Amino acid sequence: MISIKIHKSYRDVIAVCDKEILGEIFQEGEYKLELKENFFDGDYFEEEKAIEKLKKLKLDDPTFNIVGEKATQAAIKAGLIDEEDIRTIANIPYSMVLL
């Protein structure tokens, strides 16, 4: 499952995360990914529904924070990112997108 949470602002921020890693902290050297539930825990979607949702959300020109294997793969399939846009911390893939 993939969690998608919309933070309303002058430019919406969309938090996308694999459900299985919510609440976790991943650290590699001085870099850290802290997947706080108050930021990432939103509505849950299976991959195909998540892809559809992400395609619709990108039309509103938001910013995306994407973390996890399932989430990054869904973002690729939705046309938000390419494989080379993905970085890792402690083997956890993530990407930040400003459209």
DSSP string, 52-64: HHHHHHHTT--EE
CA angle 5/22/83 to nearest 5° reads: 75
The correct answer on CATH 2.40.30.30 for the domain covering 2-98 is no
| Burial per residue of 63-88, b for 16 or more beta-carbon CB atoms within 10 angstroms, e otherwise | ebbbbbebbbbbbbebebbeeebbee
Nearest to 77 by CA among 49, 42, 35, 97: 49
- Bridge pairing between strands 43-45 and 2-7: antiparallel
* Residue 99: pLDDT over 70: no
Task: Classify residue 41 by its DSSP letter.
Answer: -
Which pTM was predicted?
A: 0.94
Q: Residue ranges of the domains in the chain? A: 2-98
pLDDT tens figures, 15-57 = 999 999 999 999 999 999 999 999 999 999 999 999 999 999 9
